[in-house]
Amino acid sequence: MESGSWHIEKRDISRSESFGRDVDNAPETGCLSIVVLGASGDLAKKKTFPALYHLFLQGFLPSEEVHIFGYARTKISDDELRNRIRGYLITDKSASTEHLDNVTKFLELVKYVSGSYDSEEGFQLLDKEIAKHELSKNSVEGSSRRLFYLALPPSVYPSVCKMIRHNCMNKSDLGGWTRIVVEKPFGKDLESAEQLSSQIGQLFDEPQIYRIDHYLGKELVQNLLVLRFANRFFLPLWNRDNIDNVQIVFREDFGTEGRGGYFDEYGIIRDIIQNHLLQVLCLVAMEKPVSLKPEHIRDEKVKVLQSVLPIKDEEVVLGQYEAYRDDPTVPDHSNTPTFATVVLRIHNERWEGVPFILKAGKALNSRKAEIRVQFKDVPGDIFKCKKQGRNEFVIRLQPSEAMYMKLTVKQPGLEMLTVQSELDLSYRQRYQGVTIPEAYERLILDTIRGDQQHFVRRDELKAAWEIFTPLLHRIDDGEKKPLPYKPGSRGPEAADELLAKAGYVQTHGYIWIPPTL
Protein backbone atom coordinates (compact mmCIF):
# COMPACT_ATOMS: atom_id res chain seq x y z
CA MET A 1 0.00 0.00 0.00
CA GLU A 2 1.50 3.32 -1.08
CA SER A 3 3.24 5.42 1.58
CA GLY A 4 2.10 2.91 4.19
CA SER A 5 -1.13 4.89 4.58
CA TRP A 6 -4.50 3.26 5.11
CA HIS A 7 -6.54 5.65 3.01
CA ILE A 8 -10.12 5.10 1.96
CA GLU A 9 -11.01 6.99 -1.17
CA LYS A 10 -14.53 8.33 -1.17
CA ARG A 11 -16.36 9.06 -4.38
CA ASP A 12 -19.90 9.12 -5.65
CA ILE A 13 -21.02 5.97 -7.40
CA SER A 14 -23.87 6.25 -9.87
CA ARG A 15 -26.76 3.82 -9.74
CA SER A 16 -25.71 1.99 -12.88
CA GLU A 17 -22.06 1.78 -11.84
CA SER A 18 -22.59 0.50 -8.30
CA PHE A 19 -21.05 -3.01 -8.24
CA GLY A 20 -21.93 -3.28 -11.92
CA ARG A 21 -25.53 -4.07 -11.02
CA ASP A 22 -28.20 -4.16 -13.64
CA VAL A 23 -30.75 -1.89 -12.01
CA ASP A 24 -34.02 -0.54 -13.28
CA ASN A 25 -33.14 2.15 -15.81
CA ALA A 26 -36.63 3.60 -16.14
CA PRO A 27 -36.58 7.41 -15.96
CA GLU A 28 -37.29 8.61 -12.45
CA THR A 29 -38.90 11.94 -13.19
CA GLY A 30 -41.96 11.51 -11.01
CA CYS A 31 -42.13 12.03 -7.27
CA LEU A 32 -41.79 9.14 -4.82
CA SER A 33 -44.49 8.06 -2.37
CA ILE A 34 -43.48 5.56 0.32
CA VAL A 35 -46.36 3.88 2.16
CA VAL A 36 -45.64 2.03 5.40
CA LEU A 37 -48.55 -0.31 6.09
CA GLY A 38 -48.72 -1.32 9.75
CA ALA A 39 -47.31 2.09 10.64
CA SER A 40 -48.29 1.87 14.30
CA GLY A 41 -46.60 -1.51 14.85
CA ASP A 42 -43.21 -2.31 16.40
CA LEU A 43 -41.42 -3.21 13.14
CA ALA A 44 -42.39 0.09 11.50
CA LYS A 45 -41.39 2.20 14.51
CA LYS A 46 -38.15 0.37 15.35
CA LYS A 47 -36.84 -0.46 11.86
CA THR A 48 -38.72 0.97 8.88
CA PHE A 49 -39.10 4.62 9.89
CA PRO A 50 -35.54 4.89 11.34
CA ALA A 51 -34.17 3.42 8.08
CA LEU A 52 -36.16 5.98 6.05
CA TYR A 53 -34.88 8.75 8.33
CA HIS A 54 -31.25 7.77 7.77
CA LEU A 55 -31.81 7.65 4.00
CA PHE A 56 -33.32 11.13 4.28
CA LEU A 57 -30.27 12.36 6.21
CA GLN A 58 -27.94 11.03 3.51
CA GLY A 59 -29.85 12.78 0.74
CA PHE A 60 -31.46 9.70 -0.81
CA LEU A 61 -35.00 10.89 0.04
CA PRO A 62 -35.05 14.61 -0.92
CA SER A 63 -37.96 16.47 0.67
CA GLU A 64 -38.88 18.16 -2.63
CA GLU A 65 -39.87 14.85 -4.23
CA VAL A 66 -40.62 12.33 -1.43
CA HIS A 67 -43.62 11.89 0.84
CA ILE A 68 -44.11 9.13 3.41
CA PHE A 69 -47.52 7.76 4.32
CA GLY A 70 -48.30 5.66 7.37
CA TYR A 71 -51.35 3.39 7.13
CA ALA A 72 -52.89 1.31 9.91
CA ARG A 73 -56.21 0.55 11.63
CA THR A 74 -55.41 2.67 14.69
CA LYS A 75 -57.34 5.94 14.64
CA ILE A 76 -54.69 8.58 15.34
CA SER A 77 -53.73 11.94 13.84
CA ASP A 78 -50.64 12.83 11.78
CA ASP A 79 -49.04 14.42 14.83
CA GLU A 80 -49.74 11.40 17.04
CA LEU A 81 -47.95 9.11 14.59
CA ARG A 82 -45.05 11.57 14.33
CA ASN A 83 -44.71 11.66 18.11
CA ARG A 84 -44.69 7.84 18.27
CA ILE A 85 -41.90 7.69 15.68
CA ARG A 86 -39.90 10.58 17.17
CA GLY A 87 -38.76 8.56 20.19
CA TYR A 88 -37.08 5.99 17.90
CA LEU A 89 -35.25 8.71 15.93
CA ILE A 90 -33.96 10.65 18.95
CA THR A 91 -32.26 8.05 21.12
CA ASP A 92 -29.68 10.35 22.70
CA LYS A 93 -30.95 12.81 25.32
CA SER A 94 -28.05 15.14 24.50
CA ALA A 95 -28.90 15.19 20.77
CA SER A 96 -27.64 18.28 18.96
CA THR A 97 -29.92 21.07 17.74
CA GLU A 98 -29.05 20.09 14.16
CA HIS A 99 -30.18 16.50 14.77
CA LEU A 100 -33.45 17.66 16.35
CA ASP A 101 -34.04 19.97 13.37
CA ASN A 102 -33.41 17.12 10.93
CA VAL A 103 -35.87 14.90 12.78
CA THR A 104 -38.51 17.64 12.59
CA LYS A 105 -37.89 18.13 8.84
CA PHE A 106 -38.20 14.39 8.26
CA LEU A 107 -41.41 14.07 10.29
CA GLU A 108 -42.96 16.87 8.22
CA LEU A 109 -42.84 14.41 5.30
CA VAL A 110 -44.93 11.86 7.22
CA LYS A 111 -48.72 11.77 6.85
CA TYR A 112 -51.11 9.24 8.39
CA VAL A 113 -54.15 7.52 6.89
CA SER A 114 -56.37 5.24 8.97
CA GLY A 115 -58.25 2.31 7.48
CA SER A 116 -58.77 -1.43 7.62
CA TYR A 117 -56.67 -3.91 5.63
CA ASP A 118 -59.57 -5.53 3.78
CA SER A 119 -61.91 -2.68 2.81
CA GLU A 120 -61.66 -0.52 -0.28
CA GLU A 121 -62.71 2.67 1.52
CA GLY A 122 -59.43 3.07 3.43
CA PHE A 123 -57.26 2.32 0.39
CA GLN A 124 -59.27 4.71 -1.81
CA LEU A 125 -58.61 7.41 0.78
CA LEU A 126 -54.92 6.46 0.76
CA ASP A 127 -54.84 6.68 -3.05
CA LYS A 128 -56.48 10.11 -2.90
CA GLU A 129 -53.79 11.37 -0.47
CA ILE A 130 -50.99 9.95 -2.63
CA ALA A 131 -52.51 11.55 -5.76
CA LYS A 132 -52.78 14.89 -3.90
CA HIS A 133 -49.04 14.70 -3.10
CA GLU A 134 -48.17 13.81 -6.71
CA LEU A 135 -50.26 16.72 -8.00
CA SER A 136 -48.54 19.13 -5.60
CA LYS A 137 -45.18 18.04 -7.05
CA ASN A 138 -46.42 18.55 -10.64
CA SER A 139 -45.86 14.87 -11.46
CA VAL A 140 -47.34 13.70 -14.75
CA GLU A 141 -49.84 10.92 -14.06
CA GLY A 142 -48.11 7.56 -14.58
CA SER A 143 -44.58 8.93 -14.03
CA SER A 144 -44.73 8.71 -10.24
CA ARG A 145 -43.15 6.01 -8.07
CA ARG A 146 -45.16 4.22 -5.39
CA LEU A 147 -43.49 1.95 -2.85
CA PHE A 148 -45.65 -0.05 -0.42
CA TYR A 149 -43.84 -1.53 2.60
CA LEU A 150 -45.91 -4.24 4.32
CA ALA A 151 -44.77 -4.14 7.95
CA LEU A 152 -47.61 -6.54 8.69
CA PRO A 153 -48.24 -10.19 9.60
CA PRO A 154 -48.27 -12.47 6.51
CA SER A 155 -51.89 -13.43 7.14
CA VAL A 156 -53.04 -10.06 5.76
CA TYR A 157 -50.66 -9.93 2.77
CA PRO A 158 -53.22 -11.31 0.26
CA SER A 159 -56.02 -8.89 1.23
CA VAL A 160 -53.66 -5.88 1.43
CA CYS A 161 -52.05 -6.70 -1.94
CA LYS A 162 -55.51 -7.05 -3.47
CA MET A 163 -56.53 -3.62 -2.10
CA ILE A 164 -53.31 -2.02 -3.41
CA ARG A 165 -53.77 -3.64 -6.82
CA HIS A 166 -57.37 -2.47 -7.21
CA ASN A 167 -57.11 0.98 -5.62
CA CYS A 168 -53.57 2.36 -5.36
CA MET A 169 -51.67 1.56 -8.56
CA ASN A 170 -50.25 4.12 -10.97
CA LYS A 171 -53.06 4.88 -13.40
CA SER A 172 -50.88 4.68 -16.53
CA ASP A 173 -47.32 3.79 -17.46
CA LEU A 174 -45.10 6.76 -18.23
CA GLY A 175 -41.91 5.50 -16.60
CA GLY A 176 -43.34 5.28 -13.07
CA TRP A 177 -43.75 2.11 -11.03
CA THR A 178 -45.55 0.41 -8.15
CA ARG A 179 -43.53 -1.97 -5.93
CA ILE A 180 -44.35 -3.90 -2.77
CA VAL A 181 -42.00 -5.04 0.00
CA VAL A 182 -43.10 -8.06 2.05
CA GLU A 183 -41.45 -9.14 5.31
CA LYS A 184 -40.69 -12.67 6.49
CA PRO A 185 -41.98 -15.17 7.47
CA PHE A 186 -43.15 -16.12 3.97
CA GLY A 187 -45.46 -18.93 5.07
CA LYS A 188 -44.88 -21.72 7.61
CA ASP A 189 -44.01 -24.56 5.24
CA LEU A 190 -43.81 -25.34 1.52
CA GLU A 191 -47.58 -25.51 0.98
CA SER A 192 -48.43 -22.25 2.80
CA ALA A 193 -45.50 -20.41 1.17
CA GLU A 194 -46.54 -21.54 -2.30
CA GLN A 195 -50.14 -20.52 -1.59
CA LEU A 196 -48.98 -17.07 -0.43
CA SER A 197 -46.69 -16.70 -3.46
CA SER A 198 -49.52 -17.70 -5.77
CA GLN A 199 -51.98 -15.22 -4.22
CA ILE A 200 -49.52 -12.32 -4.47
CA GLY A 201 -48.26 -13.51 -7.88
CA GLN A 202 -51.77 -13.22 -9.35
CA LEU A 203 -51.78 -9.54 -8.42
CA PHE A 204 -48.20 -8.42 -9.10
CA ASP A 205 -45.42 -9.44 -11.48
CA GLU A 206 -42.23 -10.88 -9.94
CA PRO A 207 -40.17 -7.68 -10.69
CA GLN A 208 -42.68 -5.71 -8.56
CA ILE A 209 -42.33 -8.01 -5.51
CA TYR A 210 -39.47 -7.52 -3.02
CA ARG A 211 -39.32 -10.30 -0.39
CA ILE A 212 -37.04 -8.75 2.21
CA ASP A 213 -34.57 -10.72 4.34
CA HIS A 214 -32.64 -8.14 6.32
CA TYR A 215 -29.62 -10.44 6.66
CA LEU A 216 -28.91 -9.88 2.97
CA GLY A 217 -28.46 -6.18 3.75
CA LYS A 218 -25.75 -6.68 6.38
CA GLU A 219 -22.37 -5.24 5.44
CA LEU A 220 -20.37 -8.45 5.93
CA VAL A 221 -22.95 -10.56 4.08
CA GLN A 222 -22.76 -8.12 1.16
CA ASN A 223 -18.97 -8.50 1.26
CA LEU A 224 -19.12 -12.26 0.63
CA LEU A 225 -19.27 -12.05 -3.15
CA VAL A 226 -16.34 -9.62 -3.25
CA LEU A 227 -14.26 -11.78 -0.91
CA ARG A 228 -14.90 -14.96 -2.84
CA PHE A 229 -14.66 -13.76 -6.41
CA ALA A 230 -12.28 -10.76 -6.30
CA ASN A 231 -9.41 -12.42 -4.38
CA ARG A 232 -7.17 -14.90 -6.18
CA PHE A 233 -5.95 -16.78 -3.10
CA PHE A 234 -9.49 -17.89 -2.15
CA LEU A 235 -10.33 -19.37 -5.55
CA PRO A 236 -8.23 -22.58 -5.34
CA LEU A 237 -8.99 -23.11 -1.62
CA TRP A 238 -12.79 -22.78 -1.69
CA ASN A 239 -13.71 -26.44 -2.21
CA ARG A 240 -13.95 -29.91 -0.64
CA ASP A 241 -10.22 -30.56 -1.19
CA ASN A 242 -9.27 -27.90 1.38
CA ILE A 243 -12.34 -27.07 3.49
CA ASP A 244 -13.39 -29.59 6.13
CA ASN A 245 -16.62 -27.95 7.33
CA VAL A 246 -18.51 -24.65 7.38
CA GLN A 247 -20.44 -23.31 10.38
CA ILE A 248 -23.01 -20.52 10.13
CA VAL A 249 -23.98 -19.47 13.66
CA PHE A 250 -26.57 -17.17 15.20
CA ARG A 251 -26.58 -16.85 19.01
CA GLU A 252 -28.62 -14.63 21.31
CA ASP A 253 -27.99 -14.25 25.04
CA PHE A 254 -31.66 -13.50 25.82
CA GLY A 255 -34.91 -15.43 25.53
CA THR A 256 -38.21 -14.54 23.90
CA GLU A 257 -38.72 -11.48 26.16
CA GLY A 258 -42.43 -10.86 25.73
CA ARG A 259 -42.60 -12.33 22.23
CA GLY A 260 -43.23 -15.88 23.43
CA GLY A 261 -46.64 -16.18 21.79
CA TYR A 262 -45.35 -15.05 18.39
CA PHE A 263 -42.15 -17.09 18.63
CA ASP A 264 -43.96 -20.27 19.67
CA GLU A 265 -45.94 -20.18 16.45
CA TYR A 266 -42.74 -20.35 14.39
CA GLY A 267 -39.72 -21.58 16.38
CA ILE A 268 -36.01 -21.04 15.79
CA ILE A 269 -35.84 -22.91 12.45
CA ARG A 270 -38.58 -20.86 10.78
CA ASP A 271 -37.50 -17.65 12.52
CA ILE A 272 -33.76 -17.77 11.79
CA ILE A 273 -32.38 -20.87 10.04
CA GLN A 274 -34.69 -21.41 7.06
CA ASN A 275 -34.25 -17.80 5.90
CA HIS A 276 -31.31 -15.82 7.37
CA LEU A 277 -28.76 -18.61 7.75
CA LEU A 278 -29.78 -20.41 4.57
CA GLN A 279 -29.34 -17.18 2.60
CA VAL A 280 -25.81 -16.84 3.99
CA LEU A 281 -25.11 -20.49 3.06
CA CYS A 282 -26.08 -19.72 -0.55
CA LEU A 283 -23.54 -16.90 -0.78
CA VAL A 284 -20.79 -19.03 0.81
CA ALA A 285 -21.45 -22.06 -1.43
CA MET A 286 -22.64 -20.68 -4.80
CA GLU A 287 -20.63 -20.81 -8.01
CA LYS A 288 -19.36 -17.61 -9.64
CA PRO A 289 -22.29 -15.96 -11.46
CA VAL A 290 -21.98 -14.94 -15.11
CA SER A 291 -22.17 -11.30 -14.01
CA LEU A 292 -23.34 -9.18 -11.10
CA LYS A 293 -26.79 -8.78 -12.59
CA PRO A 294 -29.36 -9.64 -9.90
CA GLU A 295 -30.89 -12.51 -11.89
CA HIS A 296 -27.50 -14.15 -12.55
CA ILE A 297 -26.69 -14.07 -8.82
CA ARG A 298 -30.09 -15.42 -7.83
CA ASP A 299 -29.80 -18.19 -10.45
CA GLU A 300 -26.66 -19.49 -8.70
CA LYS A 301 -28.28 -19.30 -5.26
CA VAL A 302 -31.19 -21.43 -6.48
CA LYS A 303 -28.76 -24.04 -7.87
CA VAL A 304 -27.17 -24.41 -4.42
CA LEU A 305 -30.54 -24.89 -2.72
CA GLN A 306 -31.60 -27.46 -5.30
CA SER A 307 -28.38 -29.41 -4.60
CA VAL A 308 -29.03 -29.78 -0.84
CA LEU A 309 -29.75 -33.37 0.17
CA PRO A 310 -32.69 -34.27 2.46
CA ILE A 311 -31.89 -33.58 6.13
CA LYS A 312 -31.14 -36.70 8.20
CA ASP A 313 -32.73 -37.00 11.64
CA GLU A 314 -29.40 -37.99 13.20
CA GLU A 315 -27.87 -34.72 11.93
CA VAL A 316 -30.34 -32.52 13.82
CA VAL A 317 -30.26 -31.50 17.49
CA LEU A 318 -33.12 -29.43 18.89
CA GLY A 319 -33.23 -27.64 22.24
CA GLN A 320 -35.63 -25.64 24.39
CA TYR A 321 -34.28 -23.53 27.23
CA GLU A 322 -35.58 -24.17 30.71
CA ALA A 323 -38.19 -21.61 31.78
CA TYR A 324 -39.32 -21.04 28.16
CA ARG A 325 -42.76 -22.47 29.04
CA ASP A 326 -43.01 -20.20 32.09
CA ASP A 327 -43.98 -17.42 29.68
CA PRO A 328 -47.79 -17.12 30.06
CA THR A 329 -48.17 -16.71 26.28
CA VAL A 330 -46.45 -20.08 25.61
CA PRO A 331 -48.50 -23.34 25.84
CA ASP A 332 -47.60 -25.58 28.81
CA HIS A 333 -46.67 -28.51 26.56
CA SER A 334 -44.97 -26.54 23.76
CA ASN A 335 -42.68 -28.61 21.51
CA THR A 336 -41.24 -25.50 19.85
CA PRO A 337 -37.41 -25.46 19.67
CA THR A 338 -35.56 -22.35 20.83
CA PHE A 339 -32.26 -23.91 19.68
CA ALA A 340 -31.32 -26.01 16.66
CA THR A 341 -28.17 -27.37 15.06
CA VAL A 342 -28.76 -28.77 11.56
CA VAL A 343 -26.19 -30.30 9.21
CA LEU A 344 -26.83 -29.71 5.51
CA ARG A 345 -25.04 -31.62 2.73
CA ILE A 346 -24.61 -30.14 -0.75
CA HIS A 347 -24.49 -32.77 -3.48
CA ASN A 348 -22.27 -31.21 -6.14
CA GLU A 349 -18.70 -31.31 -7.39
CA ARG A 350 -17.41 -28.47 -5.21
CA TRP A 351 -18.95 -29.45 -1.85
CA GLU A 352 -19.53 -33.21 -1.82
CA GLY A 353 -18.68 -34.48 1.68
CA VAL A 354 -18.39 -31.02 3.32
CA PRO A 355 -20.92 -30.52 6.16
CA PHE A 356 -22.57 -27.10 6.38
CA ILE A 357 -23.58 -26.71 10.03
CA LEU A 358 -26.39 -24.20 10.68
CA LYS A 359 -26.75 -23.35 14.34
CA ALA A 360 -29.11 -20.89 16.03
CA GLY A 361 -30.37 -20.44 19.56
CA LYS A 362 -31.83 -18.14 22.18
CA ALA A 363 -30.81 -17.72 25.85
CA LEU A 364 -27.24 -18.85 25.15
CA ASN A 365 -23.95 -17.72 26.72
CA SER A 366 -23.13 -15.05 24.09
CA ARG A 367 -24.61 -12.89 21.37
CA LYS A 368 -23.06 -13.13 17.93
CA ALA A 369 -23.59 -14.14 14.31
CA GLU A 370 -20.69 -15.47 12.29
CA ILE A 371 -19.52 -17.69 9.44
CA ARG A 372 -16.70 -20.08 10.35
CA VAL A 373 -14.90 -21.84 7.48
CA GLN A 374 -12.63 -24.54 8.92
CA PHE A 375 -9.84 -25.93 6.73
CA LYS A 376 -8.48 -29.46 6.79
CA ASP A 377 -5.40 -30.47 8.80
CA VAL A 378 -2.00 -29.79 7.26
CA PRO A 379 -0.73 -33.06 5.72
CA GLY A 380 2.67 -34.19 7.08
CA ASP A 381 2.54 -31.84 10.08
CA ILE A 382 6.24 -31.58 11.02
CA PHE A 383 5.53 -29.05 13.80
CA LYS A 384 3.03 -31.36 15.53
CA CYS A 385 0.74 -28.40 16.12
CA LYS A 386 -2.51 -30.19 15.39
CA LYS A 387 -3.61 -29.91 19.02
CA GLN A 388 -3.68 -26.11 18.70
CA GLY A 389 -6.42 -26.22 16.11
CA ARG A 390 -6.94 -25.82 12.41
CA ASN A 391 -6.79 -22.82 10.13
CA GLU A 392 -10.12 -21.04 10.10
CA PHE A 393 -11.50 -18.10 8.16
CA VAL A 394 -14.08 -16.32 10.33
CA ILE A 395 -16.51 -13.65 9.15
CA ARG A 396 -18.17 -11.99 12.11
CA LEU A 397 -21.50 -10.49 11.03
CA GLN A 398 -22.43 -8.93 14.39
CA PRO A 399 -21.53 -7.42 16.79
CA SER A 400 -18.08 -5.86 16.11
CA GLU A 401 -18.02 -6.63 12.37
CA ALA A 402 -14.74 -8.25 11.42
CA MET A 403 -12.95 -10.85 9.30
CA TYR A 404 -10.00 -12.80 10.58
CA MET A 405 -7.94 -15.80 9.61
CA LYS A 406 -6.80 -18.10 12.41
CA LEU A 407 -3.39 -19.46 11.58
CA THR A 408 -0.40 -21.08 13.30
CA VAL A 409 2.73 -19.00 13.90
CA LYS A 410 5.98 -19.37 15.88
CA GLN A 411 5.70 -18.15 19.44
CA PRO A 412 8.34 -15.44 20.09
CA GLY A 413 11.32 -16.76 22.02
CA LEU A 414 14.28 -19.13 21.78
CA GLU A 415 12.21 -22.31 21.58
CA MET A 416 10.52 -23.58 18.41
CA LEU A 417 7.01 -23.42 19.81
CA THR A 418 3.85 -22.74 17.80
CA VAL A 419 0.76 -20.81 18.77
CA GLN A 420 -2.50 -19.75 17.11
CA SER A 421 -2.86 -16.13 16.11
CA GLU A 422 -4.83 -14.24 13.49
CA LEU A 423 -4.66 -11.96 10.47
CA ASP A 424 -7.34 -9.47 11.32
CA LEU A 425 -9.59 -6.96 9.58
CA SER A 426 -11.68 -5.29 12.25
CA TYR A 427 -14.07 -2.78 10.69
CA ARG A 428 -14.14 -0.46 13.69
CA GLN A 429 -10.35 -0.07 13.56
CA ARG A 430 -9.80 -0.19 9.79
CA TYR A 431 -12.66 2.07 8.71
CA GLN A 432 -12.57 4.79 11.33
CA GLY A 433 -15.27 7.41 10.97
CA VAL A 434 -17.21 5.32 8.44
CA THR A 435 -20.75 4.54 9.52
CA ILE A 436 -21.87 1.07 8.52
CA PRO A 437 -25.44 1.40 7.26
CA GLU A 438 -28.24 -0.60 8.79
CA ALA A 439 -29.49 -3.51 6.68
CA TYR A 440 -32.96 -1.99 6.27
CA GLU A 441 -31.50 1.27 4.91
CA ARG A 442 -29.62 -0.56 2.19
CA LEU A 443 -32.53 -2.80 1.22
CA ILE A 444 -35.12 0.00 1.06
CA LEU A 445 -32.73 1.98 -1.13
CA ASP A 446 -32.28 -1.09 -3.37
CA THR A 447 -36.07 -1.31 -3.68
CA ILE A 448 -36.29 2.33 -4.79
CA ARG A 449 -33.50 1.69 -7.31
CA GLY A 450 -35.17 -1.45 -8.63
CA ASP A 451 -32.25 -3.72 -7.67
CA GLN A 452 -33.51 -7.18 -6.61
CA GLN A 453 -30.08 -8.75 -6.02
CA HIS A 454 -30.57 -8.88 -2.24
CA PHE A 455 -34.17 -10.05 -2.28
CA VAL A 456 -35.58 -13.57 -2.38
CA ARG A 457 -37.01 -14.80 -5.68
CA ARG A 458 -40.09 -17.04 -5.75
CA ASP A 459 -38.26 -20.20 -6.93
CA GLU A 460 -35.55 -19.55 -4.32
CA LEU A 461 -38.17 -19.36 -1.58
CA LYS A 462 -39.75 -22.60 -2.80
CA ALA A 463 -36.39 -24.44 -2.83
CA ALA A 464 -35.64 -23.23 0.73
CA TRP A 465 -38.95 -24.53 2.05
CA GLU A 466 -38.46 -27.86 0.27
CA ILE A 467 -35.32 -28.41 2.37
CA PHE A 468 -36.89 -27.76 5.78
CA THR A 469 -40.59 -28.64 5.46
CA PRO A 470 -40.22 -32.41 6.18
CA LEU A 471 -38.22 -31.70 9.36
CA LEU A 472 -40.65 -28.97 10.46
CA HIS A 473 -43.63 -31.29 10.03
CA ARG A 474 -41.94 -33.94 12.20
CA ILE A 475 -41.42 -31.30 14.92
CA ASP A 476 -45.00 -29.99 14.59
CA ASP A 477 -46.34 -33.55 14.88
CA GLY A 478 -44.31 -34.15 18.05
CA GLU A 479 -42.13 -36.85 16.44
CA LYS A 480 -38.93 -34.91 17.18
CA LYS A 481 -38.53 -33.42 20.66
CA PRO A 482 -36.24 -30.59 21.80
CA LEU A 483 -33.75 -31.30 24.59
CA PRO A 484 -33.80 -29.01 27.66
CA TYR A 485 -30.82 -26.69 28.22
CA LYS A 486 -29.96 -24.11 30.85
CA PRO A 487 -30.21 -20.41 29.94
CA GLY A 488 -26.70 -18.94 29.60
CA SER A 489 -25.18 -22.23 28.40
CA ARG A 490 -23.87 -23.31 24.98
CA GLY A 491 -27.13 -25.20 24.36
CA PRO A 492 -27.70 -28.97 24.64
CA GLU A 493 -24.50 -31.02 24.99
CA ALA A 494 -25.74 -33.21 22.12
CA ALA A 495 -25.19 -30.24 19.79
CA ASP A 496 -21.44 -30.18 20.54
CA GLU A 497 -21.35 -33.94 20.02
CA LEU A 498 -23.02 -33.50 16.62
CA LEU A 499 -20.43 -30.86 15.67
CA ALA A 500 -17.62 -33.25 16.58
CA LYS A 501 -19.25 -36.04 14.54
CA ALA A 502 -19.56 -33.69 11.58
CA GLY A 503 -15.81 -33.06 11.80
CA TYR A 504 -15.57 -29.67 13.48
CA VAL A 505 -12.46 -29.37 15.67
CA GLN A 506 -12.82 -26.80 18.44
CA THR A 507 -9.81 -24.70 19.36
CA HIS A 508 -9.35 -24.75 23.13
CA GLY A 509 -7.62 -21.87 24.87
CA TYR A 510 -7.95 -19.44 21.93
CA ILE A 511 -10.21 -16.39 22.16
CA TRP A 512 -10.46 -13.75 19.45
CA ILE A 513 -10.29 -10.26 20.95
CA PRO A 514 -11.38 -7.35 18.72
CA PRO A 515 -8.32 -5.13 18.18
CA THR A 516 -8.27 -1.63 19.62
CA LEU A 517 -6.39 1.48 18.59
Positions annotated as catalytic residues are 276
Pairing of strands 243-251, 316-321: unpaired
- H helices of 190-345, in order, are 190-201, 219-222, 224-229, 260-268, 278-285, 294-306
CA of 412: how far to CAs of 149, 382, 385, 509, in Å?
A: 57, 19, 16, 18
CA of 403: how far to CAs of 124, 245, 370, 372, in Å?
A: 50, 18, 9, 10
Instruction: Tell me how far apart the alpha carbons of residues 490 and 494 are, in angstroms, rounded to a whole number.
Output: 10
Closest CA to 384 of 406, 360, 408, 364: 408
- H helices of 307-376, in order, are none
| Residues in Cβ contact with 171 at an 8 Å cutoff, skipping those fewer than 6 apart | 141, 142
3-class DSSP state for residue 148? strand
Instruction: Tell me how far apart the alpha carbons of residues 230 and 125 are, in angstroms, rounded to a whole number.
Output: 50
In this structure, what are the phi and psi dihedrals at residue 321, rounded to the nearest 5 degrees?
-70, 145
How long is the chain? 517
